[in-house]
């Protein structure tokens, strides 16, 4: 059992990872500033796992708060760092807030790791670092392309900051590059709760079906894909969460090959927007109200992972299907909207 700091542990991927950590016998300590989550997520975690993890409200972009937290928790063995802003469009409007929040917090955490000799870090990165990849599926060796948004830039720079810190201070770190995490815990005790109008596809789909939104806009059907809509690698959030536990155990057991490793977290299978809608309609036995509209600025045509490295080196493989994820996303949406 290891005591692990989980930043952003009340968020979508963070909360599912906390559950998996508890179930694997670890002791997660959650910090979160509640900027995009609520403390009630702790109830869901407790219902699933039977344990209520320690939670501290900390704003990681405030150095004094970070210092204070680490001065009180002296037995941490590793850190999983989720806490970050993640809205691509918003990051274009508020780049300085994105750099401050996403990179400030990372730097402060790395400084504490250096000072307190904590040497294990899992970092939430993103397939966005690959941009419009020249070859599909995308391997970890695909070049990192110039970021199209400040959000994407924070992930690229974050990886660079970690690499430089490793060079100087000898940490061990794994960056996990997520493709498109979706779904919810099958228990429907935790899931995705975007504030306001959802920007991501699946919560928009489920909210439309629940009657919270009028109609889903599909952003373009003139891309060079099999049906003209964008292709993405949608991966169940529980699979993503489990990968964090595997990556953490790899560091705890010293099985990592070199101080810095990168893994793609995807299923290896691309699905188009229309295929996602079809999957939803099938599992919910309903028709979704949608219409095709203009392309959304900044969307790449297609992105899906080559998962060979994660499968063979990390020893992790996604297990759930797109349909599984849609079933769970819908079960969660119905629960929070009190629909039978």
Q: Say how far apart CA 260 and CA 81 lie, in whole Å.
A: 15
Window contacting ligand UD1 (CB under 6 A); options: 5-13, 36-44, 61-69, 194-202: 194-202
The count of C-alpha atoms lying within 13 angstroms of the C-alpha of 260, restricted to the half-sphere facing its C-beta, is: 16
Please say which residue, 174 or 216, places its beta carbon nearer to ligand UD1.
Answer: 216
Q: Say how far apart CA 309 and CA 262 lie, in whole Å.
A: 9
* Contacts with ligand UD1, 72-111, as mask; x by CB under 6 A: --------------x-x-----------------------
Distances (CA, A) of 54 to 9, 32, 79, 119: 10, 11, 15, 22
Residue 279 DSSP SS3: helix
Applying CB under 6 A, among 10, 22, 201, 209 the residue interacting with ligand UD1 is: 201
**C-beta of residue 245 within 8 angstroms of C-beta of residue 329:** no
Q: Say how far apart CA 301 and CA 227 lie, in whole Å.
A: 12
Please say which residue, 21 or 302, places its beta carbon nearer to ligand UD1.
Answer: 302
State yes or no: is 151 an active-site residue.
yes
Q: Does 307 bind ligand UD1 (CB under 6 A)?
A: no
# residues contacting ligand UD1 (CB under 6 A): 21
Residue 142 DSSP SS3: coil
Annotated catalytic residue within 98, 108, 151, 234: 151
**Which residues, including other chains, have CB under 8 Å from residue 291's CB and lie 6 or more apart?**
215, 216, 217, 218
Q: Does 219 bind ligand UD1 (CB under 6 A)?
A: yes
Applying CB under 6 A, among 171, 204, 260, 263 the residue interacting with ligand UD1 is: 204
For helices 322-337 and 201-209, the axis angle rounded to 10 degrees is: 50
Window contacting ligand UD1 (CB under 6 A); options: 8-16, 193-201, 238-246, 279-287: 193-201
Residues 3 to 32 in contact with ligand UD1, rule: CB under 6 A = none
Please say which residue, 218 or 262, places its beta carbon nearer to ligand UD1.
Answer: 218
Q: What is the DSSP string of 52-63?
A: --EEEE--TTSH
Q: Does 209 bind ligand UD1 (CB under 6 A)?
A: no
Helices (H) and strands (E) in the chain, counts: 12, 14
Report the candidate in 293, 173, 183, 197 with the shortest Cα–Cα distance to residue 238: 183
- The minimum distance between CB 241 and ligand UD1, in angstroms, equals 16
Residues 244 to 283 in contact with ligand UD1, rule: CB under 6 A = 273
- The minimum distance between CB 37 and ligand UD1, in angstroms, equals 16
Q: Does 217 bind ligand UD1 (CB under 6 A)?
A: yes
Site of interaction with ligand UD1 (CB under 6 A): 86, 88, 126-128, 180, 199-201, 204, 216-219, 230, 232, 273, 296, 299-300, 303
Question: Which positions are annotated as active-site residues?
Answer: 151
């Amino acid at each position: 059992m290891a005591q692990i700091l989980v930043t952003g542990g009340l968020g979508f991927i963070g909360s599912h990872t906390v559950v998996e950590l508890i179930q694997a016998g670890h002791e997660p300590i959650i910090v979160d500033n509640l900027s995009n989550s609520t403390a009630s997520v702790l109830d869901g975690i407790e219902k699933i796992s039977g344990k209520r993890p320690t939670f501290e409200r900390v704003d990681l972009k405030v150095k004094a708060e970070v210092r204070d937290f680490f001065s009180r928790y002296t037995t941490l063995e590793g850190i999983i760092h989720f806490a970050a802003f993640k809205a691509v469009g918003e990051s274009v409007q508020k780049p300085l807030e994105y750099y401050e929040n996403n990179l400030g917090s990372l730097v402060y955490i790395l400084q504490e790791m250096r000072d307190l000799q904590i040497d294990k870090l899992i970092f939430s990165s993103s397939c966005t670092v690959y941009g419009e990849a020249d070859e599909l599926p995308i391997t970890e060796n695909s070049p990192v392309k110039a970021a199209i948004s400040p959000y994407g830039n924070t992930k690229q720079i974050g990886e660079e900051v970690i690499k430089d810190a490793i060079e100087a201070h000898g940490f061990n770190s794994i960056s996990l590059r997520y493709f498109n995490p979706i779904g919810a815990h099958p228990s429907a005790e935790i899931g995705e709760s975007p504030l306001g109008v959802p920007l991501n596809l699946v919560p928009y789909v489920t909210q439309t079906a629940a009657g919270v939104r009028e109609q889903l806009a599909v952003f373009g059907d003139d891309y060079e894909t099999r049906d003209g809509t964008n292709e993405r690698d949608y991966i169940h959030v529980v699979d993503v969460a489990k990968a964090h536990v595997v990556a953490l155990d790899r560091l705890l057991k010293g099985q990592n090959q070199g101080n810095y490793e990168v893994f793609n977290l995807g299923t290896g299978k691309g699905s188009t927007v229309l295929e996602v809608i079809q999957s939803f309609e099938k599992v919910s036995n309903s028709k979704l109200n949608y219409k095709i509209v203009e392309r959304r600025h900044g969307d790449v045509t297609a992105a899906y992972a080559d998962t060979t490295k994660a499968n063979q080196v990390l020893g992790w493989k996604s297990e759930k299907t797109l349909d599984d994820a849609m079933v769970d996303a819908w079960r969660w949406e119905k629960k929070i909207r009190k629909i039978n």
